[in-house]
Amino acid sequence: MGIFKFMTPEIIFGTNSLSQIGESLLRLGAKKVFVVSDEGVLNSGWVERAVQYLKDCKLDYCLWTEPTPNPKDYEVEKGVHAYIESGCNSVVGIGGGSAIDAAKSVALLATNGGTIRQYEGVDLVTSPLPPMVMAPTTAGSGSEVSQFAIIGNSTRKVKMTIVSKSLIPDIAIIDPLTLMTKDARLTAHTGMDVLTHAIESYISLAATPMTEGYSLQAIRLIAEYLRPSVASRHNREAKEAMAMASLQAGIAFSNAILGAVHAMSHQLGGLLDLPHGEMNSILLPYVLEYNLISCPEKFKNISAAFGENVDILSLTGAAGKAIKAVKELAGDLDIPDSLRNLNLKEDQIDFMSLNAVQDACMTTNPRDMKAADVKLLFRRALGGGF
């Protein structure tokens, strides 16, 4: 089995748990809180509610809502300037992965200095970060429990993967009620992002018995509850299940890392500024077909987690059911089966493929992948069909 580490923040989960945000910050020694969110979350009312909980605890705050859906390096630098100017000593992120990644990156630079580009890679953070509390409003990124931050490099037109245990927040607050203000399209894309986290962490070369249990349970929850969660924003049972799936998949991938789907989707997001969840949704079946031969026994277990009857099938047949189940779920959620309508041009594929093989997520993909292999998968996804 070998030696492995397993890291999580303190986790507060449940309906109305957002009400714990002020008390959580007080326990961490917060005096003035830098609240990071975005305009969409602000308009949904969750920021206003969180801020009231800060006021109830007599906490001062500064609100910063400038991060875009794929936060950029220059946005983070603006946030750091605002943090320092406002005299804050703690950070809160409220929103999806973009807001939380931006919040973590502001916290990183506030105490470590320099530019965010200096920290691309693994374990380059040397100084402790200020207290961090993260409250996700989507069942998607898992950033509230992870050691990752993904930030766009505006010069190179790529997404930078920053990995450090210092980026794991002190406290994650997961309130399923926040999911009830998300539309069906966002729910579908973020839910498929959770599925990608669960599957890639399960088949990762760095998976352990600790992470595999979380990964498989997340897949089971997604198979049962993502469709009803997309169908109705008022289905509380489905929202609670998807919030739990996102949490479990986030814990799994933070410790086991990910794979080629994320390595490739980071390039699409960096170059074309496209939604991360949607890119993962489209790429996932293509990458699964490529990875199938590397660990068919694990694919068989994924099939079983989807509820497929695999007892009477050969290993190859049972493993293939996993890909079939993913395709059927994507189809039911109206996920496109190709990249053809996303303004991706053939001559951009070489650039993205070379960058993808350098992405930190590629190191734990279960099957070796060269730039030529990535090019082939991008071309398949651009042409459509499997």
Across the chain, what does the average pLDDT equal?
Answer: 95
Instruction: Please report how many Cα atoms fall inside a 13 Å half-sphere around the Cα of residue 372, on the Cβ side.
Output: 0
> Can you read off the two tokens belonging to residue 226?
């993502």
Q: What is the pLDDT of residues 283-312, one digit of tens each?
A: 999 999 999 999 999 999 999 999 999 999
Percent of the chain as helix, strand, coil, to the nearest 5:
60, 10, 30
Q: State the Cα–Cα distance between residues 117 and 48, nearest whole angstrom.
A: 32
List domains and CATH numbers for the chain: 10-178 (3.40.50.1970), 182-383 (1.20.1090.10)
For residue 5, the model assigns a pLDDT of 83
Q: State the Cα–Cα distance between residues 278 and 283, nearest whole angstrom.
A: 9
For residue 251, the model assigns a pLDDT of 98
Q: What is the pLDDT of residues 231-255, one digit of tens each?
A: 999 999 999 999 999 999 999 999 9
**Statement: residue 386 has pLDDT above 70:** no
Q: State the Cα–Cα distance between residues 278 and 158, nearest whole angstrom.
A: 17
The separation between CA 104 and the C-alpha centre of its own chain, rounded to angstroms, equals 13
Q: What is the pLDDT of residues 257-293, one digit of tens each?
A: 999 999 999 999 888 888 888 899 999 999 999 999 9
Give the mean pLDDT of 107-122: 96
- 3-class secondary structure, 132: strand
Q: What is the pLDDT of residues 76-93, one digit of tens each?
A: 999 999 999 999 999 999
The DSSP result for 208-275, as a single string, is -HHHHHHHHHHHHHHHHHHHHHHH-TT-HHHHHHHHHHHHHHHHHHHHH---HHHHHHHHHHHHH---
Tracing tokens 């966002």 back to the chain, one arrives at: 186
Beta-carbon contacts of 268 under 8 Å, excluding residues fewer than 6 positions away, are 274, 279, 339, 342, 344, 352
Give the mean pLDDT of 354-366: 95
CB 80 within 8 Å of CB 119: no
pTM (two decimals): 0.95
For residue 385, the model assigns a pLDDT of 53
pLDDT category of residue 345 using cuts at 50, 70 and 90: confident
Give the mean pLDDT of 304-329: 96
Give the mean pLDDT of 24-37: 98
For residue 344, the model assigns a pLDDT of 85
For residue 146, the model assigns a pLDDT of 96
Tracing tokens 């079946």 back to the chain, one arrives at: 285
